[in-house]
Amino acid sequence: MKRLMIGITLIMLLTFSTGTGCQATRYQQIRDSVESRGVEVTGAQVQWSLLIPTGVVLDLNAIIWNGSDYPLEIEQASYTIYIGGEEVGEDTVDDILLQPMALTYIPVSVKISIAELGQWVWDYLTGGVELRVAGTMQVPLRIWGFRIASVPITFDESTYYRLG
């Protein structure tokens, strides 16, 4: 009876360690294959109070490339948006799926007050302004469907906007 229990225990340990090793290798390949590919402005809406503009909501896409052969589930992506080197906002996006060998456009947005916007309008008109999105995506590490940890993947991308 003892030999049977020892045999079952060894088989379970071997199966668990093999599965863990395979998943760790898979996630390392995914981590090495995921990279940021840019940021783009998709829209802007002016917010009004009576007849006075109070702010602008800037809609952006953070562009992420999944170069692995596996779809990648992102539990959460936290990001910070910078304009002209100054932080203007941060937020979190939940439940994103990165398809294998494909670009994914993660929509992010930030509300900017008219007072903040004023300083960048002049920069934009006179030479240009840098727009940057930086953050971290949390990828769940699962063994046989059970989440055991999260693997962080960082992204940091900027683009430069100028008139004309």
pLDDT digit string (tens) for 104-157?
998 888 888 887 777 777 777 777 788 888 888 888 877 667 777 787 888 888
pLDDT digit string (tens) for 2-23?
766 676 666 665 555 555 555 5
Within 10 A of 105 (CB to CB), how many other CB atoms are there?
15
Residue 6 corresponds to which tokens in the numbers above?
A: 């020892």
Within 10 A of 152 (CB to CB), how many other CB atoms are there?
10
Domain residues of the chain, as ranges?
A: 2-161
Helix, strand or coil, per DSSP, at residue 147: strand
Residues 44, 109, 56, CA angle at the centre, nearest 5°? 40
Rounded to whole angstroms, how far apart are CA atoms 30 and 134? 19
Domain 2-161 fold is: Immunoglobulin-like (2.60.40)
